[in-house]
Amino acid sequence: MKDTFKRKVYLDASATTPVDKEVLDYILPYFSLKFGNPSSLHSLGREAKSALEEAREKVANFLGCSFSEVFFTSSATESNNLVLKKVLKLFNFKPHYLVSAIEHSSVLNPAKKLAQEGKIDLDLIKVSKDGILDLEDLKAKLKENTVLVSVSYVNSEIGTIQPLKEIAQIIREHREKQGTRYPFFHVDAVQAVNFLDCKVSNFLADFLVISAHKIYGPKGASALFKREDIKLDSWLEGGEQEFGLRSSTENIPAILGLAKALELVEKYKGKALEIKRLRDKLLQGILAEIGGVEVVGSLEKRIPNNLGVIFKGVEAEILILALDKEGIMISSGSACTTREIKPSETLLALGKSKREALSFIRFSLPRFIKEEDIDYVFNILPKVVKSLKER
């Protein structure tokens, strides 16, 4: 059945982004003409190997690390799981992990499972009502056996930016006090790449994860930064690809797409101010036209394209479907959990009630957003919210 609405407005860029045309044009030949396996010795294989090494160098330059510290996986979820499940193998005692209470599920869920299995001790670091990590709580929960601290640079649901430099300083002081190399600092930077400096030296990260499909690259590629002095066991056994950490024939088109997308991040960073202006226009319109609205998270310490609000008295799932009929695509939070009608752990950690959490909506603006898109949302959103409240 053909859609009949006037306009399509995509406001779910934190879930995924379309592949940029420059990225698509760059990677298309590697699906067909340049299809070689980089492990093959013939010319097609060497061509693929050369492209892979060039992509690794581009990622290393973006992150400010060495070529041999970049590893490619299939997704940020895989990269995060790799770190959490392999770090514990480095120690002959029961390790303790510290994870922020509003981590992405690809960190929080494996950490909880490892704790349930008795493989680690786990504590969650509290956050403020605005979603900023409580540094005093972090200090208080560091132990002698704390080997890993995991924090997302930017929360995927409410867009808040964490004080990574301050967190790194606390970790460094704890190391010095103990005379150890650990705890290691693991940063999920997936939501940060489009807007923030992700040089690992800025906050002394030991592990850092980014993803292609959040930055206008293809799905199927993630880059994991791992400091060279940390030696992890193989994650996948096989042909010794990725310096022996992750055996598997590399997904060359997706990896090249990730590297190309990183180049374009620099090109489009100047659009941040315009995106923020349109985000703020959207917020002002919502507050002016709709009653019973609560903004979630800090507006000052937030990436410019994110807006999270609670529409009191309206179920998020119903609102999403109603707006989708009008061509407006939004989210109720993390896309990884939207198929389950349960409150977001992030919202609950911020002190919101279950009812409030189930009324939370995330607007995340893509870089191709236009003024007319926001105007169209204004024409539709207040009427839809009003009709749902009157049910």
- Active site residue ranges: 336
What are the tokens at 155?
A: 């929360």
Euclidean distance between CA atoms 257 and 54, whole angstroms: 12
What are the tokens at 388?
A: 């749902």
Cβ pair 369, 275 in contact under 8 A = yes
- Between helix 316-324 and helix 371-389 the angle, nearest 10°, is 130
What DSSP letter does each residue of 53-75 carry, written as one string?
HHHHHHHHHHHT--GGGEEEES-
From the CB of residue 258, how many other CB atoms can be counted at a distance below 10 Å? 28
What are the tokens at 43?
A: 């010319």
Burial (CB < 10 A; 0-12, 13-18, 19+), residue 206, is buried
SS3 188: strand
SS3 173: helix
Task: Tell me if the bond preceding 304 is cis, omega within 30° of 0.
Answer: no
Q: Which helix (H) or strand (E) holds 9?
A: strand 9-10
Nearest CA to 130 among 98, 156, 159? 159
Euclidean distance between CA atoms 269 and 272, whole angstroms: 6
- Pairing type for strands 9-10 and 328-329 reads parallel
Distance separating the N- and C-terminal Cα atoms of the chain:
27
List the Cα angle 319/325/326 in 5-degree steps. 95
Euclidean distance between CA atoms 159 and 157, whole angstroms: 6
Backbone φ, ψ for residue 73 (5° rounding): -130, -175
Sheet holding 306-311, edge to edge: 293-295, 306-311, 360-364
Q: What is the DSSP letter of 389?
A: H
Euclidean distance between CA atoms 327 and 317, whole angstroms: 15
